[in-house]
Amino acid sequence: METLPVHEVGALGSTAFVIASLIKIIATFTVVMVIVALLTLLERKISAWMQDRLGPNRVGPGGIAQPLADGLKNILKEETNPSEAHPLFFILAPMFSIIPALVTFSVIPFAAPLPTPWGVVPMMVADVPIGILFLLAFSSLGVYGIVIAGWASSNKYALLGGLRAGAQMISYEIALGMSLLSVFFLIGNVTLPEVVWGQQRMHLWYALPLAVSFFFFWISCFAETNRLPFDLPEAESELITGYHTEYSSMKFSMFFIAEYAHVLTVSMLMATLFLGGWDIPGAFDNMYYAGDGLVLGAEPAVWKTIVTFLAFALKTFFFILVFMLVRWTVPRFRYDQVMDLGWKFMLPAALVVVVVTAGTILALDSLGIEYGLVFGLVLTAVNLTMLGIVLWLLDRGRILSGSTALAAKRTRARLVRQFHEEEFHVAAPRQG
């Protein structure tokens, strides 16, 4: 085992801890709200670029102040309250959507520990011992806002959108949780700083050793955020606008703030779980805050905190960009395709991946191979093989079939049914 250097930076006193926590809370949520507002502008700019348009360019230089104009417009718009809607839950539903989306940021580490004259400051709002479980629990609560909005609106289209959201969440939450088990097997912990530290010690980001889990987690995140091709709860061509059909003004805006905040959350989470979080290739930033002012590994420095924060922001932006590019590239799935992918393929495949990954880790431990680069390369070979099989199964309509294949399947089923009915009618007189 490698002996790690220990740097005693000093722990924060009670007063410094409270002040540092308040600063992190205010700074984090302020930055998050600004980023969420700018993401709406970014998506409109990307869609305009992909469709050969200009996009928003009237408010401010290059349209930079368009989110401010949109917010002001929504504040000043007239509130609509349908007479048949439930008066209490119709108002509470947007809050149930936006609060979980904003709370989940608190457990994600976004930079290396910051050394200060008063002690070392972990770069996350709350270092809770159940970090990943806390994040999964709160992010899953957002669907209740959508379901309640659909039910409380007393609108059939809205209700169908809410029901779709519930079914979709159940379908993909299981696969999402199963894909995280492989991460737990490797680190033996559920805190996100441990995940970053585990990837630093392996000298390999988990996107390769856990490639299939990464792939399934990514797909599940699309479904969890209700983004194309999984935006069935608000399918405009079928349900007007789905669960928020009856909403206007700021209540309507809160649903979209929650959606973009959720996109930002899952992008930060994927960057942390599978791309090393704030880690940069090389050993200069390989450090772990062990508590009580002790930092293991590299010596903390202010410049390292800044550089690692920029690296984390870049990784997060990559996933956000993919979310937006997919929205304007891939068509919406049919409802039966979404259910087939979740229940018939991803759930059994995730179970197989968990068993194979656990068996590989157990075999490597039994062979005496220490956790490190060789350990990760063996896992990479196994997972890339499984990923190739998964992609082969998903290709050429083996799992997700188009409308023509669906019509052919229905025709075959009808012919088989007619054949059995004719056999029954022919056999009945003989038996008599």
Model confidence at 429: pLDDT above 60: no
Count CB neighbours of 369 within 10 A. Answer: 12
- Which of 258, 79, 40, 102 is closest to 165 using CA atoms? 258
Band of pLDDT at residue 13, cut at 50, 70 and 90: confident
Could you report the per-residue pLDDT of 332-361, keeping only the tens digit for each? 787 778 888 888 888 899 999 999 999 999
Average pLDDT, integer, range 373-402: 84
Average pLDDT, integer, range 19-45: 89
Question: What are the angstrom distances between the C-alpha of 109 and each of 14, 132, 177, 186, 304?
Answer: 21, 12, 20, 19, 14
The single-letter code of the amino acid at 398 is: R
Least confident window among 39-48, 338-347, 411-420? 411-420
Question: What are the angstrom distances between the C-alpha of 250 and each of 70, 246, 253, 255?
Answer: 10, 12, 5, 9
- 198-207: burial string, b at 16+ Cβ within 10 Å, e else: bbbbbbbbbb
**Whole-number average pLDDT of the chain:** 85
Could you report the per-residue pLDDT of 56-95, keeping only the tens digit for each? 888 888 888 898 998 888 888 888 788 788 888 888 888 8
- Across 94-103, 230-239, 243-252, 274-283, the highest mean pLDDT is recorded for 274-283
pTM for this structure? 0.87
pLDDT value of residue 55:
86
- Look-up: residue for tokens 């992008």? 267
Classify residue 164 by burial, with Cβ atoms within 10 Å: 0-12, 13-18, 19+: buried
pLDDT value of residue 212:
93
- Which of 138, 135, 125 is closest to 98 using CA atoms? 138
CA atoms within 13 A on the CB side of 267: 24
